[in-house]
Amino acid sequence: MYWRLTDNWLELTARFLTGVYGVRDVKDLMARELLAELDEAGIGLASATFEVVGLPPLRVTPDP
């Protein structure tokens, strides 16, 4: 497992070998076990979502 500190989070990367078939099942099992272990250790995960493209609300009123 590799980790990298970024400006606002810790990025984890796992490298593993598996057969040609069943990769999705292996990844699912790994993710479930990892989340369970983090939960057991009291380590929480957080995420944030930001609107990258958008305009603030625009109100047009007639000039008196």
Model pTM above 0.85: no
Q: Where are the domains of the chain?
A: 17-42
Report the alpha-carbon distance of residue 1 to residue 15 in Å, rounded: 6
The b/e string for 11-33 (b: 16+ C-beta within 10 A; e otherwise) is eeeeeeeeeeeeeeeeeeeeeee
pLDDT in tens, the chain (64 residues): 788 888 777 888 888 898 889 999 999 999 999 899 999 999 888 777 676 677 778 788 888 7
What token pair was written down for 17? 């070998």
The alpha-helical segments, DSSP class H, found in the chain are 23-40
